[in-house]
Structure 1
Amino acid sequence: MDDGSTKGRIINIVTKLKSGDQQAFEELYELTHNKVYFLALKMVRNHENALDIVQEIYISVYKSIDKLINPEVFNAWLSKIVVNKCKDFLGKKKDVLLPEKEEYEDNDASEAIEDTSDDFIPHEVLDKSETRNMIMALIDNLPEAQRTTLLLHYYQGLNVEEIAAIMECPAATVKSRLIYSRRQIKTGVEGYEKQGVKLYNVAVVPLIIFILEAYAKENALGPEAAAKILSTVNAGVHIAHAVTAQTAASASKFRLLHKFTTLSIRSKIIAGIVAVAVAVTAIVTPIAVMVNANANQVMSSSSMPAIQQGNWIYYVWGYYNGAKTRAIFKMRTDGTQKTKICNDFGSDLVASGDWLYYSNQNDNDSLYKINTDGTERTKLNSDNSDSLIVLGGWIYYQNVSENNNLFKIRTDGSSRTKLNSESTGDFSIVGDWIFYRGSSNYNKGLYKIRTDGTEKTYLNNQTVLFQEFVGDSIYFLGDNFELLKMKTDGTGITIISTDEVNSFYVSGDWIYYCNSGDNFYLYKIKTDGSNKTQLNSEASCSVYVSGDWVYYTSLWTGADVGYFCKIKTDGTTRTLLSHEGGVTSINVE
C-alpha cells in the first residue's frame, strides 16, 4: 500500500500530467510500474504475459489520463485498468467465483472484523524464503476473484467500495470474498503449524500484507526490463524524447521513439514531431495523419500531426488567439488563413476527399469525421480507435477497446467488421493485403492478411517497427531501432544502417533519417547502405521528402525549438518555414 508521501507525489505528478506536462508521465511510470507489474503477474500468472499487459496498461493510462477527474483516486483508477486488461487477456468479461448470493452468512460475525493489529512478525518468518513461499502459495491458490479482491485490498490499499466498483459487484460481495480468503489462508497457516512450521500465531492480515510486499520486492522489474517497457509504451503513444550527447549514455534506457511510418512517395503527407528541449524536456504529443490514396498506392498507419491536401495543411494542436489549444486547424501552405475547424482533440487525422477522419480524444477516442469546412461533424462509432487508414470507402483501424485487433468500417459508419484476433501494432495496406506487426511477445512477428480478413499468413518473427513499402521491399526498424529492409514475403532481411533511427523516409535511392544516436541530426544513406551523409547539425524529427527538399521539425535550435524547417537534399539552404511553435509539421507540394 502507498504511504502518504508516495500518494501525495503521485497526486502531484498526475496533476502535472493532466495539465500537459508530458515529462510527468515518465515520473508516474517510475513510481507505479512495479506495483502494476506485480498485480498483473499475480492475475495472469505468467511473466511474459504480464510484461505485455503492463505495456498496454500504460498506453491506456497515457491516452485516458484526461478522463480522470480527481487525481486523488488515481490508485483506484489505475487498478481498474490493470484488472480490466488482465480480464481481457484471460478472456473473461466478468468475475464469477461463488454462487450469486455470496454474502457472508456465518453466525460467527467476529470473523468479519479484520485483525489489523501491527503484530510482531518474527525474523524466522522474515528470513526463511521457504516459509514465505508456503504462505504465498496459499494466496496463489485462492479462487481468482478472491485472490484479486485480496490483492486490491491488502496490496493496492483500496477500500471495499473502490473494489466493488472495479469488480462490478456489491460491496457485500467484496466483504465476503475478503472473509473467505482470510479464512482459507488462516486454515492453511494452521495446517502448516500442525506440520511443524513455526509461524508464532502471527495474525493473518499483517502476515498477508508482509508476504505480498516481500514478494513484490523480490519480483520487481530490473532497470533494463522497466526501461524497455517504457520505451515501447512511449513508442506506442507517440512520444519523442531528444537527449544531448552528454546525457545520452545515462538517458539511453529512457530514450523514447517517435512512432513514424510513411506512405508511398506519391502520397501527400506531413511528418509529425514532438518538440523537445535539451535539459528541461518539453514534449508535445504527435498526432497520426494520412491522406487518401488510390488502391494501387501503399497506405501505412502513421503518427504525424498534419497533412496537406492541395494548398491546405490540416493539423492538430496549435496556438489560437495566443493560447495553446487542442483542436483541429487548417492553414494555407504559406502559413496564411489559419482557421479552426472544430474543438475536438483529434488524433490519427486522415484526409479523404472533402472529409477529415480522426479519433476524438475528447470522446474516448471514438471515431469521427468532419467536413474540411468544419460542417457535418459526425460520430461514426464508439470504438477506441487508433492508427487510421482510409482507403476505398473503408476506414481501417486498431480497436483499442478490443485488444488492439484490426477492424474496418465504412466511411458512413456502417458495416463494422473485425479482421483479426491479434494485438496489432503498426500496419500498412498494399493492394488488397494488410501487413501488420504483432504488438506483444505472444504474437510477435510480421503478418499479412487480406483486407476482407481472410488468408492470414505469418511471415517471420522479426520485430518490424514503422514499416515503409517501396516496390517489393519493406524498410523498417528493428529491436534496437536499426534500419533494415526485407522482401514483402518476409525473406532477405538486410541491415542498411546500425544507427539508432528516430524516423525515416525513403525517396528514390536514398533514405533520409533522424539519427537519435547522434543528437538526432539529419542524415541520408543509399538504400544499399552506402554513402552515409550528415545533412545538418540540429536535432531533428519526423523527416519527409518532396522534390529537392527535406522537411523536418527542429527539436532545439535556440529560438527555433519545435519549428518547421526544410533543407535541400544536399544539406544546403536550410529554411525556417513556421514561426508558430504550436504547429508541429509541414509539407509543401
Structure 2
Amino acid sequence: MFCGNCGNEVESGSTFCPVCGSPVEASNKKGVDSKKVGKLIAIVVAVVAIVIVATVGLKVYSYIKSKPTDKQLELAVNNYQNGGIVTTDGKWLYYNDNGLCKVLLKDGSKQTSVSDEVTPEKMFYAGNSIFYYKFPGIYKAQADKWKENDLKLSVFTEDCFQTDGKNYYVTGQGNSDDSGVYSVSVSNEKKRTQISDIHPTRLLMYKDYIYIQSGFDSINDMPNENFGTWRISKDGKNKIDLMGFCPSYMVFSGDRIFYTNEDRVICSMSLDGSDEQIYEDTCVNGGLNVTDDYVFFIGQSEDNYNNVIYRMDKDGGDITALTQDDCSSINIAGDWIYYVNEDYDYDIYKMSFDGSYNAPIY
C-alpha cells in the first residue's frame, strides 16, 4: 500500500509512513494501488489493440471485396465483347430494361429497379461495383447503394477500358499525341502512366496481361502503324506480336484464347500465341463466348435464314444448334446463356446450356 500524504510505498500493516510520518490507515484510500494501475493499463492496451485490429480488418475486407476475382474478370472481358447486355455479382443479374434492373440469378424472380435514369449501353461487374459505358464515358456505381460516379477517364471508345481493381487501363485521346495505352490508379486517378505507345481500337485484359488490338485509324480509315493484336504485361513490358490482324471476337478460358480469324472461322491458341488450332466447321456471324466446357457462337442456320446460337465442345466436336430465332450478343452468367432475341422485340432471353430452357429473362 501507499502513503496518502507523500505517495511512498509502505509495508502492509504499518501505522505511520516511514518517510513523512503521516498516519497510513486514515489516508491509504487516497493512495495508488499498483495492482489496480496495472490492470487499468492492461485494459487500455487491450481496447487499443482491438480498435487497431478492427480497423485493419475492415480495410483488408474492403480491399478484398473491391478486388475482382479471376472469374469475374474472365466473364467481364468475354461478355463485354458480346454487347455487355447483362452482368452479375453472383447473386443478382443486372440488365437494361429501359433503366437498370436486377433479378435473382438462380431463379429469375424478384425483379427490382436499380435506377430508372441509367440505361447503360454496355456493362460488367468487377469487385463490388458495376462499370458501364454511357456516351461519352465510363461510369462506376455500387448497385446496393446506387450512386453514379463518372470516372472522367479519357476513353476513346467503349472498347478501350479494363480494370483489375488496382488500376484502370484506358486509351489516350484518339490519334493525338496522347494516344497509346495508360494505366490509371484506382485510388488516385491523377496517377496516370503510359505503358504502351500502340494506339488501341480495343483493349482486353486477362490474368497478368493486356491485349491490345490496333485496327484502323477512325479518321483516315487507314491501318494504324502497329496494326494487329499485341500482348503486354501490365507494366508495359514483355511485348508479343500475337497476330497480324484484329479478330472480331477474342475470348478467354483457362490457358486458351478463342478467336475468329479473317474468314470468321473459330480458332484457339495458348496465351502466348503458340499451339494454334482451327475449327474448320465453324463460321461466326455475331457472337462468340466460352465456358469451362463449351464454346458458344452465333452462325447461320442450316436454311441460311437466321443467325442462331450453336454449342461446340472445346475440342471442336459435337456442334449443336440451340435456337431457331435470330439472335445476337451471347452473354454467360452462372449456368445460363443470355442473348438478344431479334425476332421478339429484341428482348433479352435466358437459355440453359443444352437449350432445353429458353424464355424471356423476366
Rounded Cα–Cα distance in structure 2 between residues aligned with 1:340 and 1:546? 19
Task: Indicate which of 105, 110, 113 corresponds to 1:336.
Answer: 110
Q: Is the 8 A contact 2:85 2:331 kept in 1?
A: no
Q: Distance in 2 between matches of 1:530 and 1:423?
A: 38
Is the Cα–Cα contact under 8 Å of residues 428 and 436 in structure 1 kept in the other structure?
yes
Cα distance between partner residues in 2 of 1:352 and 1:570: 28
Cα shift at 1:493:
2.9
TM-score (norm 1): 0.42
Q: Match of 2:204?
A: 428
- After superposing the two structures, state which structure 1 stretch, 346-355 or 478-487, moved more: 346-355
- For structure 1, the 5+ residue unaligned runs are 1-290, 320-326, 579-589
Distance apart, 1:331 and its partner CA: 4.6
Deviations 1:255-290 (A, max 9, x none): xxxxxxxxxxxxxxxxxxxxxxxxxxxxxxxxxxxx
Structure-1 separation of matches of 2:71 and 2:295: 25
Note closer, same or farther for the CA distance 1:455–1:400 as it changes in structure 2 (3 Å cut). Answer: same
Q: 2 CA distance for matches of 1:328 and 1:498?
A: 35
- Which deviations, in whole Å up to 9, do the C-alpha atoms of 1:192-216 show, x marking residues without a partner? xxxxxxxxxxxxxxxxxxxxxxxxx
Q: Distance in 2 between matches of 1:373 and 1:514?
A: 34
1:395 to 168, 189, 192: 168
Return the match for 1:384 from 142, 155, 163.
155
Distance 2:240 2:348 in 1: 40
In structure 1, the residue corresponding to 2:315 is in which secondary structure? coil
- Could you say if the C-alpha distance between residues 350 and 530 of structure 1 is closer, same or farther in structure 2, counting changes exceeding 3 Å? closer
- Paired position in structure 1 for 2:185: 410
- The one-letter code sitting in structure 2 at the alignment partner of 1:526 is D
Unaligned runs of 5+ residues in structure 2 are: 1-66, 217-222
Over 3 Å counting, the alpha-carbon distance change for 1:348 and 1:396 in structure 2 is farther
Contact kept? 1:525, 1:531, Cα under 8 Å: yes
1:459 pairs, out of 233, 237, 242, with 242
Q: 1:446 pairs with 229, 251, 258, which one?
A: 229
Corresponding residue to 1:485 among 268, 286, 293: 268
Select the structure that is richer in helix: 1
- Relative distance call for 1:377 and 1:466 in structure 2 (3 A) is same
User: Whole-Å Cα distance in 2 between the matches of residues 488 and 357 of structure 1?
Assistant: 26
Partner amino acid for 1:429?
Answer: M
C-alpha distance in structure 1 between counterparts of 2:262 and 2:109, whole Å: 38
What is the deviation of 1:500? 3.1
Contact 2:84 2:331 in 1 (8 A): no
Task: Tell me the alpha carbon deviations over residues 144-167 of structure 1, each in whole angstroms, 9 at most, x when there is no partner.
Answer: xxxxxxxxxxxxxxxxxxxxxxxx
Residues 165 and 186 in structure 2, CA contact (< 8 A), matched pair in contact too: no
Which amino acid in 1 is paired with 2:347? Y
Q: Say whether residues 1:503 and 2:287 are aligned partners.
A: yes
Change (3 A) 1:346 1:468: same
Cα distance in 1 between the residues matched to 2:164 and 2:86? 18
Deviations 1:322-379, CA, capped at 9 Å, x for gaps: xxxxx54445443534324363554443333443333442xx32x4333324554333
Separation of aligned partners in 2, 1:368 and 1:548: 28
RMSD over aligned Cα, in angstroms? Answer: 3.1
Query: What corresponds to 1:355 in structure 2?
Result: 129
Which residue is 1:542 aligned to? 329
Measure, in 1, the Cα distance between the counterparts of 2:71 and 2:169. 14
Question: Which of the two has greater strand per residue?
Answer: 2
Alignment match, 2:92: 312
- Residue 345 and residue 398 in structure 1: after superposition, are their counterparts in 2 closer, same or farther (change >3 A)? farther
Q: Match for residue 569 of structure 1? A: 353
| Cα offset, 1:394, TM superposition | 1.6
Q: CA deviation at 1:531?
A: 1.8
Structure whose CA Rg is larger: 2
Q: Distance in 2 between matches of 1:499 and 1:432?
A: 30
Instruction: Give the whole-Å Cα distance in 1 for the aligned partners of 2:334 and 2:140.
Output: 31
Residues of 2 paired with 1:460 and 1:530: CA distance? 25
Change (3 A) 1:487 1:514: same
Q: Percent identity?
A: 19
Structure 1 residue 448 displacement after superposition: 0.8
